[in-house]
Chain A
Amino acid sequence: MSYEQLLQYVFSGITNGSIYAITGIGFNIIYNTTGIINFAQGEFLMLGGMTSITFSRYFPLPIAVALAVIVTAIVGALIDFLVIRNLKKQSILFMIIVTIGLSILLQEAALHIWDEKVRSLPFFTGDEISSINIFGAYISPQVLWVVLICSIIVAVLTVFFKYTATGRSMRACSSNVIAARLCGINSKNMITLSFTLSAAIGALAGAVVSPITQTQYDCGTSLAIKGFAVAILGGLGNSIGAVAGGIVIGLLESLSISILPLAYKDAVSISILLLILFVKPSGLFGKKEISALKDF
């Protein structure tokens, strides 16, 4: 493999890895406030892609994406407000099964609203044949958009959780929900907020990858599996871990293409997921007690 080829694979790995990382962070945000894995996380990406494609027919691209993020965020909030919050039985396993149901529901809804056609958002800059030469590798400008937007999301979330009162309250809820309530924090609202936030960043990620990976009513599933693998690899609940995990899985996946047939690409992340679950369930950077807390 030539140096340029290697670089090409590395860039593609980083691109996919960034998306997986964002999906993983989406899992983490909800996991941290509720202890549940939201299996409808992939559908937030799908919805973000689909709605921004529809809006882009009527509005300039940035507005279309912004609207898509808002709409998906509302869907996220409604999921908690109408479903999760009202569950009689608040057991972790039960709630996880409910999110699997929601994921199927959202896919079916998307199938009815749109159809099974594969669509994609226009490239943010240039088109499918524009490319930029970086150190000898040719990459689409959209790749830079993906990496840029993912970095911005991570940076904004870091600031939000570290330096704002609301972010601090969410962390308090994930650290000790009873103590948080004793301090006057409405933990149910924090859960709604975590669904809203996860949906919003999922939608943004779904829109920015759409030109590269294309969007279809069921494209959320595979993204969710990758995002889940990444969240586990990085240690559930750990967002920096998710970024590292995303890059690792993205790179391994894209390098595997250079040796293995393309069809094995998805098998790579699943194998890593299984391996981690067998060998070190707390993830590469996770804490022991977190994995001990898991209820499933």
Chain B
Amino acid sequence: MLSVKSLESGYGKLRVLKGISMQIDPGEIVTIIGANGAGKTTLLNTISGIIKATSGEIEFNRTKISNFPAEKIVKLGCSLVPEGRQIFNTLTVKENLLIGSHTIKNSQIVKSELNNIYNLFPVLKDRINQLGGTLSGGEQQMLAIGRSLMSKPKLIMLDEPSTGLAPLIIKNIFEIIIKLKEQGNTILLVEQNAKAALRIADRGYVIETGQIVLEDKADALLRNDEVQNAYLGKEYKK
């Protein structure tokens, strides 16, 4: 579904991604784990067209998207739930979701998608007229995921959906991700919370200073010594 080859990108003179190659097959949950500043967000932003790749290739469903602007990439069905949620503070919950369906012209589909989201996140339904900026962190994350789903994406990329949330809400978000996979979605998940991410993922990549240093099945990564030491914490071993 997505294939990235020797991708390089960065900010001005700063080279952040130094030749990343990875791929995602339909129906998978793939996770990318790595320390702060490793380049995870840069990778997702480059795939989604927010940052221009300086070299390398990105293919989405056999279309070369390396030079496409962000608004065109989401139309193809590749949607990013950005780091820090980035919801529209001055728009209501419902308006946020409707903006999410900007690429869908059929109002019937928009309506049924809206209902799906409300079923998935009942708290949003209770708050349709509340301004996005007044939601709690967890509600904002749900709104950000819901907004992305409104475009009926083929691939959903989530950038640290659990950051800053209470354990119970995190559990809830991860359950939603599993549910999305069960509904046939393909998911690319970036997480600080490596343990939780690897537990629900099929495969994983470990990224260090802009390079993929390890890739494997998720359960193999969970058992990997280096990964345990660096990302899972000592207590995990026993």
Residues of A within 8 A of B (CB): 165, 168-169, 171-172, 174-176, 178-187
Closest B residue to A185 by CB, please name it: B102
Q: Using a CB–CB distance below 8 Å, which chain B residues touch chain A?
A: 48-50, 69-71, 74-75, 79-80, 82, 86-91, 95, 98-100, 102-103, 147-148, 151
**Known A-B contacts A184-B71, A185-B99; A175 and B90 likewise in contact (beta carbons under 8 Å):** yes
- B99: contacting residue among A172, A174, A178, A187, CB under 8 A: A172
A182:B90 contact, CB within 8 angstroms: no
| CB pair B50 A181 closer than 8 Å | yes
CA distance A176 to B95 in the complex (A): 13
**Bound: A156/B86 CA distance, A:** 29
Q: List 24 A-B contacts (CB under 8 A).
A: A165-B98, A165-B102, A168-B98, A171-B88, A171-B90, A172-B88, A172-B91, A172-B95, A175-B89, A178-B82, A178-B86, A179-B82, A180-B88, A180-B99, A181-B69, A181-B71, A182-B50, A182-B82, A182-B148, A183-B151, A184-B74, A185-B102, A186-B71, A187-B71
State the CA gap A172–B48 with chains docked (Å).
18
- A182 B79 Cβ-Cβ under 8 A: yes
Q: How far is the CB of B114 from chain A (nearest CB, A)?
A: 14
**A175 vs B95: C-alpha distance when bound (angstroms):** 12
Residue of A nearest to B105 (CB): A165
The interface residues of chain B lying within 8 Å CB-to-CB of A183 are: 74, 99-100, 102-103, 147, 151
Which of A182, A183, A185 has the largest number of chain B CB atoms within 10 A? A182
Specify which chain B residues have a CB less than 8 angstroms from the CB of A171 in the assembled complex.
Answer: 88, 90-91, 95
Q: Which residues of B contact A181 (CB under 8 A)?
A: 49-50, 69-71
- What is the minimal beta-carbon distance from A284 to any residue of chain B, in angstroms? 19
Shortest Cβ distance from B45 into A: residue: A178
- Is B74 touching A168 in the complex (CB atoms < 8 A)? no
Select A182's contact among B74, B89, B91, B95, beta carbons within 8 Å.
Answer: B74
CA of A183 to CA of B98, assembled, Å = 10
- State in angstroms the CA–CA spacing of A178 and B48 once bound together: 11
Q: How near does chain B come to A59, taking the closest CB pair, in angstroms? A: 38
Chain A residues with CB under 8 A of B50: 178, 181-182
Bound: A2/B86 CA distance, A: 57
User: Which of B79, B86, B90, B102 contacts A169 (CB under 8 A)?
Assistant: B102
- From known contacts A165-B98, A168-B98, A169-B99, infer whether A182 and B48 are also in contact, taking CB-CB under 8 Å: yes
Chain A residue with minimal CB distance to B89?
A: A175
Most buried by B among A168, A178, A179, A180: A179
The answer to whether B91 touches A179 (Cβ under 8 A) is: no
Rounded to whole Å, the gap between the CB of B68 and the closest CB of chain A is: 11
Task: Choose from A165, A180, A182, A187 the contact partner of B80 (Cβ within 8 Å).
Answer: A182
Chain A residues lying within 8 Å of B79, measured Cβ to Cβ, are: 182
CB-nearest residue of chain A relative to B76? Answer: A184
Q: How far is the CB of A159 from chain B (nearest CB, A)?
A: 15
CB-nearest residue of chain A to B96: A172
Q: Which 6 pairs from chain A and chain B are nearest by CB?
A: A184-B103, A179-B86, A175-B88, A181-B70, A184-B102, A184-B74
